[in-house]
Amino acid sequence: MASLSIITAPDPRLKVKSELVETVDGATRELMDGMLETMYRAPGIGLSAVQVGVPKCVITIDISRDDEPNQPLYLVNPRIVRFSEEIALYNEGCLSLPEQFADIERPEGITVEHLDYHGEPQSLEADGLLSRCIQHEMDHLTGVLFVDHLSSVKRGMILRKLSKARRQEEIA
């Protein structure tokens, strides 16, 4: 697959609601391979297909540290079936919002059901960074960015910064 490029905000393509994958077939796996490669290259720990312009419910994640072997995780059609009551605060970033970070509150733990790389159903219990990453990536599937959890003032500041950075890139 040709290398994929990551869409940066603000962009209407990031607001599109992703569709469920009917069958995890060769084309889906090719998409996942391309996404993983793109995510590693960025580098990032999570990517949703909509961020590369494919509005399908497909997510790649790898939260392994640099000194650990890669541990790619593929989530197709993920569905959260349990949220913990405990809420955690975590400083989030996003490949579609380069160099922007903000503290976001979310449930600490989740259980997520999904299909894996081979289309097999899986159930995954996650907390900490993995839970955070899955929740963040799943937001993308409904067109939600982490800045959408902030006040409109803070969100506006970040999006204006990104628009300005992009204009400067276009001029340069």
Q: Judged by CB under 5 A, does residue 36 bind Ni ion?
A: no
Quote the tokens at residue 39.
Answer: 């995510």
- Round to whole Å and give the CA distance between 106 and 49: 22
> Among residues 94 and 104, whose Cβ is nearest to Ni ion?
94
CB of 171 to Ni ion, least distance (A): 26
How many residues make contact with Ni ion (CB under 5 A)? 1
Please identify, using beta-carbon distances, which residue of 72 and 119 lies nearer to Ni ion: 72
| Cβ 51 to Ni ion shortest distance, Å | 7
Determine if 73 is a binding residue for Ni ion (CB under 5 A): no
Q: Indicate the DSSP class of residue 95.
A: T
Catalytic annotation on 137?
A: yes
Q: Which is nearer to Ni ion, 107 or 119 (CB)?
A: 107
Q: Which helix (H) or strand (E) holds 12?
A: none
Provide the minimum distance between the beta carbon of 47 and Ni ion in the complex, in angstroms, as a whole number.
8
User: Given the complex with Ni ion, which of 101 and 125 has the nearer CB atom?
Assistant: 101
DSSP characters over 124-160? EEE-HHHHHHHHHHHHHHTT--GGGGS-HHHHHHHHH
Catalytic residue selected from 105, 108, 137, 169: 137
Residue that is written with structure tokens 């494919």 in the block: 54
Cα dist from 57 to 51, 104, 157, whole Å: 11, 23, 29
Q: Is 138 in the site for Ni ion (CB under 5 A)?
A: no
In the bound complex, which residue of the shown chain has the CB atom lying closest to Ni ion? 94
- In the chain, helix, strand, coil percent, each to 5? 35, 30, 35
Closest approach, Cβ 94 to Ni ion, in A, equals 3
Query: Hey, what amino acid is at 105?
Result: E
Judged by CB under 5 A, the chain residues 91 through 120 that form the site for Ni ion are 94
Residue ranges in contact with Ni ion by CB under 5 A: 94
Active-site residue set: 137
